[in-house]
Amino acid sequence: MTLEALNATSEGTMVAHLGIVYTRLGDDLLEATMPVDARTHQPFGLLHGGASAALAETLGSMAGYLTTRDGQCVVGTELNATHHRAVSQGTVRGVCQPLHLGRQSQSWEIVIFDEQGRRCCTSRLSTAVLG
């Protein structure tokens, strides 16, 4: 799958509404960016933890889907996120890598960085492989 095709899957979804764009697709990683703006701010002008969680779940679920065979799909079963640093503007970058790729379950680590390359959030997503 190409980045263009991957980004086309977001049309008309929350992923597109939040401005999430896939930027790098590798053998063992998937990256995306998300703006830190009115769409992703909490009331005090900082990146909303839920927006970070949405970026993490988006990356992990799509990365999981990319590892499946025809007729299979991936659903998230558990997400946790530890927020390390506040971000008030600019763009954040999420980097997703597999921790475990089983036949029925997967675990993904998603790290979110600010524009200076500082770790802002570390997430782990567990997924179930269906079909």
Known catalytic residues?
57
Structure tokens at 130: 């269906």
Q: Which of 59, 39, 110 is nearest to 80 (CA)?
A: 110
What's the full length of the chain, in residues? 131
Residue from 94, 82, 78 nearest 126 by CA = 78
